[in-house]
Structure 1
């Protein structure tokens, strides 16, 4: 049995940190990254034990190129680069990212402390490419004002959706992660009447009631993002997205965890690319993706095995 990293399946927290890192490619740095990654689960568990009210958890994951440098002995069978998409002026870009450190808790100070401790261990082996602090907004809403994460799996389904199984047994309990940072054009969005916003999303704004299939526009966000296979079964992902914002910009740090990258890739394509009828996700008219990274989070046992000096 393999153990998933602590940040993959738990329910949402009030605070999160998404730290995208670049690695130095010299042998000494690679050794230090492997050794630090191996003890991150232990560091997290120790701090979580000191502050149980915080519900602290973490995930460290690796991009395709970084994986080949750090762990050339074996490779998750579906690990690949982020699938950049451009269509009719809509762009989902791929951006630089070797490692993702995702820390979440119900206390921002505890999130900060774990980040600080891990970066101290990593030292000069890494460079910070992007740091985004996410927060729970009102009653779990996106900054557009709509409840976010309604489609997330619950209960045992979180495990079956997010974690690799026996289909790639050497990497069981791992997870494929995709992140995107979206900037919301809130002034433009807030100028839209609420009924128009609801048509764009596919749900009511105040009480979060999904429209019926007949009422739902073919360009509605939840229709475009709800992907089904040939048998009509939903191709789910586990979202750990969080709003972020400051005085200059605000938006969503989208984060998808899944046992396969395919579900996210098909969802992104349906959102960004127009179909034969010209339909795409009209929420993209009010939100711009500015980053895109793909990672794999291996099991705790994998990290420990390959992190020994």
Structure 2
């Protein structure tokens, strides 16, 4: 029996931290990283028990290149680098990231405490490439003003969508993670009439009602981002995206968790690349992706077994 890391399937929190890390490649550092990754779940559990109101959880995940160094004898069958896509003026870049520490809670101070404790354990074996603090905005809306995460799976479906099953038995209960940081061009967006914004998204803004198939433009965000297979079944992902922002820039830290990387890869392609009719996701005219990373979050048992 394999146990997923605590941050994969729970419902959304009010606060989150996305810490993208680079690893040092020397033998001593790699050993320390393996040991630290193995104790992060226990560190999270102990702190969560101290502050149950915080609903603290975490996920530590490993990128493709770093995996080859940390766990060279075994590998998730579909772990690969982030699929950079460029089409005309639209770019989804692939950027540096060896590890992702994703911490979630309903208390910002507890998020900080776990981050501090984990970084103490890593010591000089890693460096921080990017740190993004996410927050719940109003009633779970994106900074564009539209409700975000409406299409997320619920109940037991969260597990079946996000976690690897017996198809890759050594990595059962793991999850493929993709992150992108988008900068929203809010001034340009807010200049658009609400009716135009709704056409771009494919939903009403105030009450979050999805347009009918007839109403929905072929360039609508929710049409491009919801992929179906050959049988017409939805190729779902579990989103843990959060708004972020400061006085200089603001946007969305997009985070996809899934039992396969294929669903995210096809979704990203449909959003960024124009099809034969020239249709792409017109939300991309108002938001720019500036980072892109791919990781795998193995089970707690895998991390413990490979800690030496």
Q: Fold-level match, TM-score > 0.5?
A: yes
Q: Which residue of 2 aligns with 1:62?
A: 62
The separation in 2 between residues aligned to 1:170 and 1:35, in whole angstroms, is: 19
Q: Which residue of 1 aligns with 2:267?
A: 267
Q: Which residue of 1 aligns with 2:300?
A: 300
The separation in 2 between residues aligned to 1:68 and 1:172, in whole angstroms, is: 19
Q: Which residue of 1 aligns with 2:248?
A: 248
Q: Which residue of 2 aligns with 1:288?
A: 288
Q: Which residue of 2 aligns with 1:3?
A: 3
The separation in 2 between residues aligned to 1:240 and 1:99, in whole angstroms, is: 17
SS of 2:78's equivalent? coil
The separation in 1 between residues aligned to 2:89 and 2:139, in whole angstroms, is: 33
The separation in 2 between residues aligned to 1:166 and 1:119, in whole angstroms, is: 33
Q: Which residue of 2 aligns with 1:47?
A: 47
Q: 1:125 Cα deviation (Å)?
A: 0.2
Q: Which residue of 2 aligns with 1:155?
A: 155
The answer as to 2:92 corresponding to 1:92 is yes
SS of 2:17's equivalent? strand
Q: What is the alpha-carbon root mean square deviation over aligned residues?
A: 0.3
The answer as to 2:129 corresponding to 1:116 is no
The answer as to 2:149 corresponding to 1:146 is no
The separation in 1 between residues aligned to 2:203 and 2:13, in whole angstroms, is: 24
SS of 1:154's equivalent? coil
Q: 1:73 Cα deviation (Å)?
A: 1.0
The separation in 1 between residues aligned to 2:169 and 2:233, in whole angstroms, is: 24
SS of 2:59's equivalent? strand
The separation in 2 between residues aligned to 1:187 and 1:305, in whole angstroms, is: 50
Q: Which residue of 1 aligns with 2:128?
A: 128
Q: Which residue of 2 aligns with 1:225?
A: 225
The answer as to 2:26 corresponding to 1:26 is yes
SS of 2:130's equivalent? strand
Runs of 4+ in 1 over 6 A off after TM superposition: none
The answer as to 2:191 corresponding to 1:191 is yes
Q: 1:239 Cα deviation (Å)?
A: 0.1
The separation in 1 between residues aligned to 2:226 and 2:71, in whole angstroms, is: 34
TM-score (normalizing by structure 2): 1.00
The separation in 1 between residues aligned to 2:88 and 2:126, in whole angstroms, is: 36
The separation in 1 between residues aligned to 2:76 and 2:232, in whole angstroms, is: 27
Q: 1:22 Cα deviation (Å)?
A: 0.2
1:123-177 deviations in Å (ceiling 9; x for gaps):
0000000000000000000000000000000000000000000000000000000
The separation in 1 between residues aligned to 2:86 and 2:34, in whole angstroms, is: 35
The separation in 2 between residues aligned to 1:190 and 1:233, in whole angstroms, is: 35
SS of 1:143's equivalent? coil
The separation in 2 between residues aligned to 1:35 and 1:211, in whole angstroms, is: 50
The separation in 2 between residues aligned to 1:14 and 1:73, in whole angstroms, is: 38
